[in-house]
């Protein structure tokens, strides 16, 4: 499989090479995009929001999902599809997700007609999964960074994102801070600029701080580098790039770290909470 990076110089939500108004395009109706994770790759949860499309190695466009996509072609079209995400949850940072394998399709198209196309992405075979936690049968986030046993992070079967259980931590006015980290420490993450990402599903009624805990010699260091707005009762999927954080810090080991702090206004006077599910740490 040849991986073809497609680069666009400007960001746009829907664009195609249809400069000739006299030519009738064919259309692709793409409304069903899925991810098929292998058994050792964790959940198939995804948030593929965009499709980057090339035809015969020529850019056709970037389209949001779902879309009715015009293709200036009557006959066989050799198309390449790349799954697009919003890096770090930022709407203006639309990229091809480097760990999803491109999909190559040869389609017979007829001008003026619409063809339904379902796309099933897979992880690239060279993707390495350093960490997977679904919380169904384990909880690898029992490292209590805040030191308050009343704000420990456990699991719950109350409305999990999927499967049997999700991770859950609670804070309130009396115990306002929850800081947790992975039990596992990661010592062999690439430090050559290769892509490193955290994937996860989460929901919280407080700002969620995302960071790393590590050490340089005997000195522990913790830094939060991403602050996610409350989602309330809605689950959200996010892809967090930590390539530069690993490259620039050059610590001896790393743990994934998360934190919330009680805020009565955000929590509307109720307990504050953080739910996590399908946490993955992946790299090449």
Question: For residue range 14-46, what is the model confidence (pLDDT) as tens digits?
Answer: 445 445 556 799 999 999 999 999 999 999 999
pLDDT in tens, 249-266: 989 999 999 999 999 999
Contact 202, 226 (CB under 8 A): no
In the chain the beta strands, taken as DSSP E runs, fall at: 26-35, 50-55, 58-64, 67-71, 75-86, 94-96, 103-109, 114-121, 128-133, 143-144, 153-156, 166-171, 177-181, 196-204, 208-216, 219-228, 236-241, 253-261, 272-283
The predicted structure's pLDDT at residue 73: 85
What is the enclosing helix (H) or strand (E) of 247? helix 243-249
Q: What is the pTM of this model?
A: 0.91
The CATH code of domain 26-121 reads: 2.60.40
Residue 78, helix vs strand vs coil: strand
Average pLDDT of the chain to the nearest whole number: 92
Residue 95 pLDDT > 60, yes or no? yes
Percent of the chain with pLDDT over 70: 92
Mean pLDDT of the 115-119 span = 97
Q: Is the pLDDT assigned to residue 128 strictly greater than 60? A: yes
Query: What is residue 14's DSSP assignment?
Result: B
Q: Domain boundaries in the chain?
A: 26-121, 128-283
**pLDDT of 7 higher than 80:** no
pLDDT at 219: 87
Q: Kindly indicate whether the domain formed by 128-283 is annotated with CATH number 3.20.20.150.
A: no
| Residue 20: predicted pLDDT | 53
Residues 6+ positions from 258 with CB-CB distance below 8 Å: 141, 179, 180, 181, 208, 209, 210, 211, 274, 276
User: Residue 9: pLDDT band by 50, 70, 90 thresholds?
Assistant: very low
Assign 3 a pLDDT band (cuts: 50, 70, 90). Answer: low
What are the tens digits of pLDDT across the range 227-237? 999 999 999 99
What is the residue whose two structure tokens read 């692709």?
28
What is the pLDDT, as a whole number, of residue 28? 96
Taking alpha carbons only, the member of 200, 223, 213 closest to residue 255 is: 213
Q: Residue 64: what pLDDT?
A: 96
> What confidence score (pLDDT) does residue 60 get?
78
Instruction: Give the Å distances, CA to CA, from 242 to 9, 183, 246.
Output: 23, 19, 6
**Chain segment 158-214, per-residue pLDDT in tens:** 999 999 999 999 999 999 999 999 999 999 999 999 999 999 999 999 999 999 999
Residue 218: per-residue pLDDT: 87
């Amino acid at each position: 499989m040849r991986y073809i990076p497609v680069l666009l110089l400007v960001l746009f939500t829907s664009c195609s090479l249809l400069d000739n108004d006299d030519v009738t395009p064919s259309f692709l109706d793409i409304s069903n995009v899925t991810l098929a994770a292998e058994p050792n790759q964790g959940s198939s949860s995804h948030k593929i929001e965009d499709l980057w499309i090339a035809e015969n190695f020529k850019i056709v466009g970037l389209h949001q999902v779902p879309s009715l996509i015009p293709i200036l072609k009557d006959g066989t079209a050799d198309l390449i599809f790349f799954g697009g995400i919003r890096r770090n949850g930022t709407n203006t940072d639309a990229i091809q997700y480097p760990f999803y394998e491109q999909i190559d399709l040869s389609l017979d198209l007829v001008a003026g007609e619409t063809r339904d196309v379902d796309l099933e992405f897979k992880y690239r075979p060279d993707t390495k999964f350093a960490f997977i936690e679904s919380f169904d049968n384990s909880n690898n986030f029992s490292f209590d960074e805040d030191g308050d046993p009343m704000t420990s992070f456990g699991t719950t079967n109350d409305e999990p994102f999927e499967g049997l259980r999700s991770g859950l931590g609670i804070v309130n006015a009396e115990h306002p801070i929850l800081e947790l980290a992975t039990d596992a420490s990661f010592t062999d993450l690439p430090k050559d600029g290769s892509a490193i990402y955290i994937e996860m599903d989460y929901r919280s009624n407080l700002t969620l701080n995302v960071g790393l805990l590590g050490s340089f010699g005997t000195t522990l260091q913790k830094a939060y580098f991403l602050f996610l707005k409350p989602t309330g009762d809605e689950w959200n999927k996010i892809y967090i790039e930590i390539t530069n954080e690993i490259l620039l810090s050059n610590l001896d080991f790393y743990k994934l770290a998360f934190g919330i702090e009680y805020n009565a206004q955000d929590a509307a006077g109720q307990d504050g909470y953080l739910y996590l599910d399908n946490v993955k740490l992946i790299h090449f």
